Amino acid sequence: MAAATMKAAIYAGPGDIRVDDLPIPDAPGAGELLVRVRACGVCGSDVSDWYMAPRAPLAWGHEPAGDVVAVGAGVTTFKEGDRVAVHHHVPCMVCDLCMHGHYTLCPTFKRTRLYPSGMAEYIRIPAEIVERDILKLPDGMPYEIGALVEPIACCVRALDRSNIRPGDNMLVVGAGFNGIVMGMLAKYWGVSKTALLDRLPVRIERAQKLGFNTFNVEDGDLADQIKAWAGGKGPHVIVLTVANQKALDMAFDLIGPGGTLMVYGTAKPEDRWPLSINRVLFQEIVVTGSYSSSPYDTRRTLDMLADGRLDGASLITHRFPITEADKAWHLTKAAGDSLKVMVQI
């Protein structure tokens, strides 16, 4: 008898996205769960060919939410029928890196993963993740809102690492999903005013409709505009949701003395960035980064989505069935008028 199969989205190579039939994962072992995925978001890393191509072909997606359909031996926290949001990595919480708050650098974090991926009808979740970063969804919360927990939690952690003090101003470079989320969250970190910078009219217009101050990177007097907006000294914090050299140079030139430049957008491993060490020293500029999220961040995020501090529904702009996962991938890759593209599974 042939093994039961399921639909899963496959990255076969740059621009080559397929939906194939894969075997349904084995029954969960001790401490594990089997989850029927109902929704999964598309992440910027999913459409980064430099990151994906060396591992192709592979099943992709890591922002899932769904229903527990089978429970492994020893699992007492979850039962069949529980509705859950799922993180795809988890730290050990006890190594030296974890004890210093660098949870996403933990070897356990890098080793753990979902099988086969979030963009599949079923996923098997290893015991470490079940133990530390599976969250039950509140009654009435749609699956697609639960699928926002992981990507928003990444923004939560980045803001924690941005040295924000009450009353600071913050400039966000890029008005895509991450930029809009950073802007929405900023007030909860005590930011007094936030502005978003982009070049696409559709993104600038949307940010304005959401109530943000905006700047257009194409303006010839951009630096003067931002300096005036920031009180004449430049922003206290700049969050870069893109990480090409042009954006880095611009942000470094714009940051105010004593400011923090948060590098949040991904860059290729071979990318290098020359900067003025003199200015770093004498103007005490902090350049830092933030990658992914920890169990602390996902819990805080779920609370903010549940109590309405963050309007998750406003972030989802497009929806596709799993059979059209290729359209979801290409729309996200285009980085145009979409925010979060959600695949319904």
Q: How far apart are CA 43 and CA 151, in angstroms?
A: 8
Residue 3: pLDDT band (50, 70, 90) is low
- Supply the CATH number for residue 129's domain: 3.90.180.10
pTM of the model: 0.96
Residue 161 and residue 188 in contact, taking contact as beta carbons nearer than 8 Å: no
- Give the mean pLDDT of 212-237: 96
Q: How far apart are CA 159 and CA 179, in angstroms?
A: 12
Do 75 and 27 sit in the same domain of this protein? yes
Do 278 and 317 sit in the same domain of this protein? no
Closest-CA residue to 263 (of 276, 277, 249): 249
Residue 70 and residue 55 in contact, taking contact as beta carbons nearer than 8 Å: no
Closest-CA residue to 172 (of 182, 161, 163, 185): 182
Residue 148 and residue 340 in contact, taking contact as beta carbons nearer than 8 Å: yes
Domain boundary among 289, 311, 329: 289
Residue 91 and residue 109 in contact, taking contact as beta carbons nearer than 8 Å: yes
Residue 52 and residue 60 in contact, taking contact as beta carbons nearer than 8 Å: yes
Do 186 and 137 sit in the same domain of this protein? no
**Angle formed by the axes of helices 222-229 and 245-254, to 10°?**
50
Do 12 and 119 sit in the same domain of this protein? yes
Do 83 and 96 sit in the same domain of this protein? yes
Length of the chain in terms of residues written: 345
Q: Which helix or strand (DSSP H or E) is residue 297 part of?
A: helix 295-306
140 CB contacts (<8 Å, ≥6 apart)?
none
Do 57 and 40 sit in the same domain of this protein? yes
Residue 3 and residue 22 in contact, taking contact as beta carbons nearer than 8 Å: no
The rounded Cα 260 to chain-centroid distance in angstroms is 20
pLDDT tens digit string along 28-55? 999 999 999 999 999 999 999 999 999 9
The 10 Å Cβ neighbour count of residue 76 is: 6
The whole-chain average pLDDT of the chain stands at: 96
Do 240 and 171 sit in the same domain of this protein? yes
Q: How far apart are CA 237 and CA 235, in angstroms?
A: 5
Do 104 and 179 sit in the same domain of this protein? no
Q: Which helix or strand (DSSP H or E) is residue 198 part of?
A: strand 193-198
Do 98 and 228 sit in the same domain of this protein? no
What is the pLDDT, as a whole number, of residue 243? 84
Q: Which two tokens stand for residue 119?
A: 């963009």
47 CB contacts (<8 Å, ≥6 apart)?
329, 332, 333
Q: Which two tokens stand for residue 287?
A: 């350049």
List Cα–Cα distances, 144 to 47, 62, 97, in angstroms.
20, 13, 32
pLDDT of residue 2 exceeding 50, the answer is no
Q: How far apart are CA 240 and CA 59, in angstroms?
A: 29
Do 146 and 268 sit in the same domain of this protein? no
Could you give the strand order of the β-sheet that contains 5-13, starting from the edge strand earlier in sequence? 16-23, 5-13, 58-59
Do 137 and 203 sit in the same domain of this protein? no
Q: Which two tokens stand for residue 291?
A: 């990658």
pLDDT tens digit string along 246-289? 999 999 999 999 999 999 999 899 999 999 999 999 999 999 99
**What are residue 68's DSSP bridge partners?**
35
Residue 24 and residue 340 in contact, taking contact as beta carbons nearer than 8 Å: no
Residue 134 and residue 86 in contact, taking contact as beta carbons nearer than 8 Å: yes
pLDDT of residue 1 exceeding 90, the answer is no
Do 307 and 216 sit in the same domain of this protein? no
pLDDT tens digit string along 163-211? 999 999 999 999 999 999 999 999 999 999 999 999 999 999 999 999 9
Q: Residue 43's domain spans which residues?
A: 5-154+292-344
Total domains, the chain:
2
pLDDT tens digit string along 121-156? 999 999 999 999 999 999 999 999 999 999 999 999
Residue 284 and residue 260 in contact, taking contact as beta carbons nearer than 8 Å: no
Q: How far apart are CA 167 and CA 154, in angstroms?
A: 23
